[in-house]
Amino acid sequence: MPDTPDAPSADGLAGNLARIKDRIARACQRAGRDPSSVTLVAVSKTHPAEAVLAVAAAGQTTFGENRVQEAAAKFAAARTVRPEIRLHLIGGLQTNKARDAVRIAEVIESLDRPKLAAALADAIGREGRSPALLVQVNVGDEPQKAGVPRAEAADFLRACREEHGLAVSGLMCIPPAEGDPRPHFAWLAGLAARHGLPTLSMGMSGDFEAAIEEGATHVRVGTALFGTRPSPA
């Protein structure tokens, strides 16, 4: 596991967590929402199990990782100490990792294509374990980004249910890095409402308060909690 150059101490992490929770509470207040309707997903990718345990000791139970292998090693270790930990997989998922993903995750947020739907349905059958599934929508229709294109999202939701027998519980998005994310959040919230989907994972370190104001039920916060990540090799 690569070490973070300026990794915060356990106290620093607890302080960061408290500040983020306070910001979540204030965003909920502005939006007239109950703070318990928003779950913080602590995105620990690239950070070691010790950082996860420090944040868990401060009361955090839900974590997010984007790579199955990294998550499996790190969370097997963390869960021996904190069995209550819940893991969300938030990164692009290869079909050959579907079975491992189903084995370790409580929530898989990156369902975005028919082949993956088929692989997850197969893995769920074999493992006898059913993580909650979110469909990732490429709200900006950006060519380099994962996710179902906007125009195909409704059809894909239907195919997940009718062709693959999958119960999708919500939607996830990563809006374009440039520009106002709010219209994207609002669009995704509308799609979820039209399909009766209760879970909306949207908002990261830079925009989670706006996402809460637009209806996010889950915000995925990494940098603001754990500090900057080492740049990918």
Ligand X SMILES: *Cc1c(COP(=O)(O)O)cnc(C)c1O
Query: Among residues 14 and 127, whose Cβ is nearest to ligand X?
Result: 14
Minimum Å distance from CB 225 to ligand X?
Answer: 7
Query: Among residues 70 and 127, whose Cβ is nearest to ligand X?
Result: 70
Q: How many residues does the chain have?
A: 233
Minimum Å distance from CB 168 to ligand X?
Answer: 17
At a CB cut-off of 8 Å and minimum separation 6, what does 196 contact?
none
Minimum Å distance from CB 206 to ligand X?
Answer: 6
Query: Among residues 91 and 131, whose Cβ is nearest to ligand X?
Result: 91
Question: How far is CA 96 from its chain centroid?
Answer: 20
* Residue ranges that bind ligand X, judged by CB under 6 A: 43, 45, 66, 90-91, 174, 204-206, 220-224
Query: Among residues 177 and 193, whose Cβ is nearest to ligand X?
Result: 177
Mapping DSSP onto H, E and C, the string for 37-57 reads: HCEEEEECCCCCHHHHHHHHH
H helices of the chain, in order, are: 10-31, 49-57, 68-81, 98-104, 114-127, 153-162, 182-194, 208-213, 223-226
Mapping DSSP onto H, E and C, the string for 157-178 reads: HHHHHHCCCCCEEEEEECCCCC
Query: Among residues 109 and 213, whose Cβ is nearest to ligand X?
Result: 109
CB 107 within 8 A of CB 134: yes
Minimum Å distance from CB 41 to ligand X?
Answer: 8
Minimum Å distance from CB 139 to ligand X?
Answer: 13
